[in-house]
């Protein structure tokens, strides 16, 4: 059931909640770390010195702004005006660098000397290892054994960058399990270690912090679109959603603009009711995962269900609290895209535009198979990453 939409409801409140979702449910040993982060993050990231350092790195190191590309042949096929926000062209091949650059600067200002991260598809792991190499900091990345097997290229990149990649063999050996192990590490090393969470999940202030660092995506869309369409807003924004970082960045500057409709694609896997999916917003119930109250795929007795998706980056049984909130408020429309629809959409973009998308991004593109648009609709799709890491899956 959709809740009544009210003004000023989409941003996190001072207690770390988006409506009834969010908060910080953490072990006692992490209270000091989290409390310090909660008190410090806004003053640090809003300081002029931080902003100048961060934007200089985004421009000179990450290669921003990323292009906003008019996909003419894709537009002709689907009879609307489709623009692709090319996050795949960033350094490291995805949007993840936007967040890791911000968090590595933050961690240095807080006196940390060691970085840990979790990763599913490997893109966040690569982006974390990259900024640690840049800043000469130790880096440990936790990655499920299942994901190591299907994303081996990114494992090699992380190791070449100097990171220690620790295989996780508990549970389904995917993103949820990697996150569990990263949190255990943090509990054992609270003094010198900063945990770079890669998505808008986890205890407050992580969901808000990651969304802020990713908001550069929608800031750029707003500045790039007038040159192409003589207005600074699209009719639709489309992104894939696992934890929710690229989606948060894509919609951040438009959340209060009712002219802009938001459509997010979550992973239906082998079918939304097959028992093999990661369609958390469709199937989830309220619970607590990794320090946050949000929607979670769980059994009737509250046990977390193992998610499944052909895409390692969407293979998560929870969702960022911001996204749980805006979906329940009716601000976003959530469509479930299955494996075959994502694969078909990836091939379509590749053959029509010469761009090979990441499997995660392919779910966003799959929306064009589900929904019809008007001829004059202006649509911006976030292409969150490139498909190099997924070539073995595409070839199967």
Choosing from 96, 176, 293, 328, which is the catalytic residue?
Answer: 96
Q: What SS3 state is found at 220? A: helix
Is 118 among the catalytic positions? yes
Instruction: Report the helix count and the strand count for the chain, using DSSP H and E.
Output: 17, 14
Q: Nearest-CA neighbor of 69 among 89, 88, 90, 85?
A: 85
Choosing from 292, 309, 384, 389, which is the catalytic residue?
Answer: 384
Q: Which ranges of 24-64 does DSSP label H, i.e. alpha helix? A: 31-45, 48-60
Q: Which ranges of 164-301 does DSSP label H, i.e. alpha helix? A: 175-188, 206-214, 216-229, 245-251, 280-283
Is 218 among the catalytic positions? no
User: How many C-beta neighbours within 10 Å does residue 291 have?
Assistant: 24
Structure-token pair, residue 7 = 């003004």
Residue 337: CA count within 13 A, CB half-sphere: 34
Choosing from 66, 94, 107, 118, which is the catalytic residue?
Answer: 118
Query: Can you tell me which residue has the tokens 């807080």?
Result: 110
Parallel, antiparallel or unpaired: strands 21-22 and 17-18: antiparallel
Q: Give just the sign of the alpha carbon dihedral 317, 318, 319, 320.
A: negative
Cβ-based burial of 360 (10 A; exposed 0-12, middle 13-18, buried ≥19) = buried
State the Cα torsion 366-369-371-373 to the nearest 10°.
100
Which residues form the catalytic set?
96, 118, 384
């Amino acid at each position: 059931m959709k809740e009544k939409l009210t003004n000023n409801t989409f941003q996190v409140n001072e207690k770390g909640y988006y409506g009834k979702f969010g908060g910080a449910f953490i072990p006692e040993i992490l209270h000091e770390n989290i409390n310090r982060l909660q008190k410090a993050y806004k003053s640090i990231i809003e300081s002029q010195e931080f902003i100048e350092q961060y934007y200089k790195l985004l421009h000179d190191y990450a290669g921003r702004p990323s292009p906003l590309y008019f996909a003419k042949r894709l537009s002709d096929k689907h009879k609307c005006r489709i623009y692709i926000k090319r996050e795949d062209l960033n350094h490291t091949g995805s949007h993840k660098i936007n967040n890791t650059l911000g968090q590595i600067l933050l961690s240095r200002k807080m006196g940390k000397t060691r970085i840990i991260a979790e990763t599913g598809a490997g893109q966040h792991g690569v982006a974390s290892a990259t900024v640690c190499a840049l800043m000469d900091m130790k880096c440990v990345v936790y990655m499920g054994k299942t994901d190591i097997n299907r994303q081996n290229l990114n494992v090699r990149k992380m190791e070449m960058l100097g990171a220690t990649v620790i295989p996780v063999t508990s549970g389904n050996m995917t993103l949820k399990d990697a996150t569990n192990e990263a949190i255990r590490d943090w509990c054992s090393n609270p003094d010198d270690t900063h945990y770079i969470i890669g998505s808008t999940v986890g205890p407050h202030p992580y969901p808000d912090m990651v969304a802020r660092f990713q908001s550069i995506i929608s800031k750029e869309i707003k500045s790039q679109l007038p040159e192409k369409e003589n207005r600074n807003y699209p009719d639709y924004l489309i992104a894939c959603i696992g934890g929710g970082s690229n989606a948060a960045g894509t919609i951040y500057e438009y959340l209060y603009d009712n002219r802009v409709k938001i459509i997010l694609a979550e992973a239906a896997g082998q079918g939304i009711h097959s028992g093999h999916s990661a369609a958390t917003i469709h199937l989830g119930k309220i619970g607590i995962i990794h320090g946050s109250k949000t929607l979670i795929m769980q059994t009737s007795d509250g046990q977390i269900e193992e998610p499944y998706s052909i895409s390692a980056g969407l293979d998560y049984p929870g969702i960022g609290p911001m996204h749980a909130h805006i979906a329940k408020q009716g601000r976003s429309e959530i469509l479930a895209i299955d494996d075959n629809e994502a694969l078909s959409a990836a091939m379509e973009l590749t053959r029509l535009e010469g761009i090979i998308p990441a499997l995660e991004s392919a779910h966003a593109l799959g929306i064009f198979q589900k929904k019809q648009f008007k001829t004059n609709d202006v649509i911006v799709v976030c292409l969150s990453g490139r498909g190099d890491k997924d070539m073995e899956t595409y070839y199967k």
